[in-house]
Amino acid sequence: MTIGPIHHVAIVVRSIDEAVPRYRELFGLAPEADPVIFTPQRVRLCFLPTGPEPAARIELVEPVDADSGVARFLAERGEGLHHLCFVTDDLPGTLEGLVAAEAELIDREPRPGAHGTVAFVHPRTLSGVLWE
């Protein structure tokens, strides 16, 4: 089982509208598109490319529902790193390998994500970091 490059690093923010100007000012990063609501997770998302494809993106994640998992994360931990997302060309096979290695999965089956199908590995599996 292998994984590819980092697709994005997700950062939870209170407000995308307030965060984007700071990323632009400090690093010259600009959104690749307007922020969108991702209804299944009850969040607003905005991706900031760090360079030409296949460079990783910064994903800004803003909760839009006080009862969402991201809202709970924000309330408990404040703004900051939420997860790392890696590319794989065989998500079902990767999940099978993780199950065989006794990794704790949040998703045993792929589910819809902002850019295709995704699955999450519980932070207890990998040094407290959520992996997508």
How would you list the strands of the sheet with 130-131, edge to edge?
36-38, 43-49, 57-63, 6-12, 80-86, 130-131
CATH number at residue 105: 3.10.180.10
Whether 75 maps to a domain, the answer reads: yes
* pTM confidence score: 0.93
Whether 1 maps to a domain, the answer reads: no
Give the pLDDT band of residue 115 (cuts 50, 70, 90).
confident
Question: What is the domain count for the chain?
Answer: 1
Q: For the segment 8-17, what is each residue's pLDDT rounded down to a tens digit?
A: 999 999 999 9
Nearest alpha carbon to residue 119 among 127, 129, 128, 109: 109
Length of the chain: 132
Give the pLDDT band of residue 3 (cuts 50, 70, 90).
confident
Whether 63 maps to a domain, the answer reads: yes
Q: For the segment 39-57, what is each residue's pLDDT rounded down to a tens digit?
A: 999 999 999 999 998 899 9
